[in-house]
Structure 1
Amino acid sequence: MALRSWEGDSATWQLFLEGNRDAFATLYASFAPLLYNYGCKQCADPRLVEDCIQDVFEYLLDHRTRLSPVDNVRAYLLKAYRRALLRKISNVRKNIPAALPDDACFEAVISPESALIARQSNLHRREKVKHALRELPPRMKEALFLRFYENLSFDDIAAIMDIDQRSVYKMIYKAFDKLRQQLADFPLWTLLALLVRLPG
């Protein structure tokens, strides 16, 4: 998947703030699939995930005149969605706190469209990588997903996960180190290819 133009997103966001309904529709069409994909890794109930997307975009419409311009629309919406989803989960299950605990479910998946993975890895190796990813703590999986699948900056990841940037660096480094330990027979470039979504 090609990287989205952040400048274009910011311009669309500005048009939305000015009351352009087509701009709102463009934002929804562009980002609802991303939010759904992210939400399904946080929550096993697809209806709740979809309801939360609806809530976020309804909030944007209702509060449009009080919203500000943003530099990175994707990071802004991911953070807003994450908070809304955690609130909704807390409302559904009263005993779940409003922040993800360290053992909360965050399911990382290997990008299926990666042709490089298909060429370089047989089924056994793919299963080893999936197993290694499942063994990582959920917060590490979330950080890897945001960095390698969504191509977000460390600043954006820190904002989305409500932690400081240094913690993001440490988390991703430790996650990568754990993967390297479990997958010692994998060349570094192969492991990177498994984590990075290729364009196309």
Structure 2
Amino acid sequence: MKNGLPQLTDEALWNLYRQGNEAALAVVYERYVKRLYAYGRKFGAEAGLVKDCIQDLFAELLSKPQAVSQTPSVQNYLLKALRRKLLAKSRKSLSGHVFLSADPDEYLFELIPSPEQELIIAQTAQEDCRRVQEAIGKLTKRQQEIIYLKFYHDLDNHSIAEVMSLTYQAVCNLVSKAVKAIRKVLSNPATLLALLHLGYDIA
């Protein structure tokens, strides 16, 4: 039964799950499935593949609760686990795309707006939209992913380092370079404000 479970913190739910409470894991799933799906789709993977990876992830969690370690952030744990699964799948060609190469920065990741954000874009000046696209296009895929995690999922640099298996300093450097690259194109404060509302906050 899930009575009372939705009101629990992630940490409390995770502890219950690790004790064998399947309903607690179900609440975690409901709490994060949309966020995981949105993140997974940024890697250029088809909807079905992302859903399969999410289902596989939770099936594995369900099968071995005692073997799963405690975590200071359930969100970070899930994002990292899904990312690992998607990049493992990406070693194979899917729909004409090869997602991963020997270069760790060569994988598909598209910092594209959601339908809701596209509506906002449609209501902004065309020049601002062009500058947004230009700025994002100048970033590496890894920088786009970091910006997405930082400002869409509100992760701090330590959390991003955990999810992406990078050092904290590497994340700081990449964020700094990404912000500088964007500011070269988006010098207008009004445009920066528009990015804030679009989920592209780079302030």
1:109 deviates by 2.6
Identity of aligned residues (%): 35
Give the conservation status (yes or no) of the 8 Å contact 1:148–1:195: no
2:85 match: 84
1:178 match: 181
Corresponding residue to 2:135 among 122, 132, 135: 132
Kindly provide the amino acid, as one letter, of the partner of residue 58 in structure 2.
Answer: F
1:112-158 deviation line (CA, Å, top 9, x unaligned): 657xx67x942331232123112211000000001111011211100
* Pair 1:44–1:66, CA change in 2 (3 A): closer
What SS does the aligned partner of 2:32 have? Answer: helix
Corresponding residue to 2:105 among 84, 102, 106: 102
1:60 match: 61
1:71-108 deviation line (CA, Å, top 9, x unaligned): 10000111111111111222556x76588732322111
2:4 match: none
Q: Which TM-score applies when normalising by structure 1?
A: 0.82
What SS does the aligned partner of 2:53 have? Answer: helix
* Pair 1:49–1:24, CA change in 2 (3 A): same
What SS does the aligned partner of 2:42 have? Answer: helix
| Partners of 2:20 and 2:170 in 1: CA distance | 38
1:43 match: 44
User: Matched residue pairs, number?
Assistant: 189
Give the conservation status (yes or no) of the 8 Å contact 1:110–1:130: no
1:12 deviates by 0.9
Give the conservation status (yes or no) of the 8 Å contact 1:79–1:161: yes
Task: Provide structure 1 residue ranges, at least 5 long, that are not aligned to the other structure.
Answer: 1-6
1:70 deviates by 1.3
Q: Which TM-score applies when normalising by structure 2?
A: 0.81
| Partners of 1:197 and 1:182 in 2: CA distance | 14
| Partners of 1:188 and 1:163 in 2: CA distance | 30
1:172 deviates by 0.7
Matched, 1:190 2:196: no
Q: How does 1:116-155 map to 2 (within 5 A)?
A: 121-155=124-158
| Partners of 2:102 and 2:63 in 1: CA distance | 25
What SS does the aligned partner of 2:72 have? Answer: coil
Higher relative contact order (CA 8 A, sep 6+): 1
Give the conservation status (yes or no) of the 8 Å contact 2:157–2:168: yes
RMSD across aligned positions (CA): 2.8
| Partners of 1:55 and 1:49 in 2: CA distance | 10
| Partners of 2:60 and 2:187 in 1: CA distance | 47
| Partners of 1:19 and 1:27 in 2: CA distance | 14
Corresponding residue to 1:161 among 143, 160, 164: 164
